[in-house]
Each structure stands twice: as C-alpha cells, then as structure tokens.
Amino acid sequence: DQQVKQNSPSLSVQEGRISILNCDYTNSMFDYFLWYKKYPAEGPTFLISISSIKDKNEDGRFTVFLNKSAKHLSLHIVPSQPGDSAVYFCAASHQGAQKLVFGQGTRLTINP
Amino acid sequence: GAGVSQSPRYKVAKRGQDVALRCDPISGHVSLFWYQQALGQGPEFLTYFQNEAQLDKSGLPSDRFFAERPEGSVSTLKIQRTQQEDSAVYLCASSSLGGLSNQPQHFGDGTRLSIL
C-alpha cells in the first residue's frame, strides 16, 4: 500500500512562473512532512519541511502547504528557475517512527 | 566532512557474492538510516540506528541483509549471497537528533549496486 502518493510523474513549467507539486497521504498518524529535490546521480537534498501543527511554511522561493483534512500537501516554487529542474520527492513520518515514507517522485522541468 | 559520505559510489558483483556498503554520517549526528531506491521509485526504508543501537530493522527485505554501527558513527550495510533483485541505489541518511524530535534527514549520494 502506497501511503504517500505523488500522482503526477512529470510537470513542465515556464521559467518565471509558479511550479506546484502535489502529494497525498493516507496514514493519519503522519505529523511531519518534507520535500526533497534530487539531481541525477546525487542523493536527495532537503528543501523544506512542515509539522502537522502548521498549515504553511515558507523559505525563500519555496512554500509548503498542508491540508490535514484532505491529507494533502503541496510545494510551491515561485518564481521557477532552470536550476529547479529535478525530481522532487515528498516524504512523511510520525512521532516514534523515525523512518521516512516517500512518494514516487515528480520530475519538474523548467523551460526557458 | 560536511555531508554524508558513502562508499563505494558504484559496486558491481556477481550473483551469490557478498557486498559491504559503507556510510560515514555527518559528524555528531545521532540517527542514521539506510534506504533502498529502485529505478523510478522513491527511497524505501531499510533500517534505523540511534547511536549504536539498531532501533528499527523492519524494512530489511530478508535475512541476507545485515547492518551495523558498532561505535555509533560509521555504518556498514552488508548483503550476503546477492541476487539480481538486490540491484538498486542504497542511500544512507543521518539526522542530528533522535527520539521524538522532528529533524530533517540529510542524504549521501548513494551506492549504485548492480548484480550480474
């Protein structure tokens, strides 16, 4: 059973516009959510996280939104830049279980 | 070093051979994790250490997989009698706090294992 799902395998966005990546989860015990960015042949790089006590967290061009009732989170990147082209993974965990559960990833391509 | 270091970056082995993958976490990080990533998928949890204690090994796919962290720093993931389905990227991650605190995990670049 896929507890964390990223239903869009790929997304293409024009440079300067907003990129919105989506993630859904099924386990209501999850209380900590993260987004990672991955370039080819490199490990995932931590981008931003959010605790379930919040519904929004912002860091520069990156904002994560959490809708607990819908079990949905999203990552907004604005403005999008060519260097943002990568695979993005959302991940979740809950207190007492340190392991991260990852989605399948979304490949973001930023077009000049 | 500044980040999580994994070696070797690439490993090719014949089916049936044993392999050992090394992870050097960020200095001072208490928690260490191993993940397996198949092509086109997200990483999947294998095992977790807090210092030298292996607190969760629920993700290890079989008893051929064994991990250790004897002194609470460097960790080794060993796979015995490798099989073709073991081919994957093995990722190591560390985080600064254990217990109930939420801290992001920081990943190494992984070891790409190919079993022929």
pLDDT tens-place string over residues B17-45: 999 999 999 999 999 999 999 999 999 99
Q: What is the DSSP letter of A86?
A: E
Smallest Cβ–Cβ distance between B42 and the set A31, A98, A103 belongs to A103
Average pLDDT, chain A: 95
Smallest Cβ–Cβ distance between B100 and the set A36, A91, A95 belongs to A95
pLDDT band at B97 (very low <50, low <70, confident <90, very high): confident
DSSP B7-65: E-SEEEE-TT--EEEEEE--TT--EEEEEEE-TTS--EEEEEEETTEEEE-TT--STTE
Q: Is the pLDDT of residue A1 over 90?
A: no
On whether the CB atoms of residues A2 and A100 are closer than 8 A, the answer is no
Q: Is the pLDDT of residue B98 over 70?
A: no
From chain A, the residues in CB contact with B93 under 8 A are 43, 100
> Given an 8 Å threshold on Cβ–Cβ distance, is A43 in contact with B102?
no
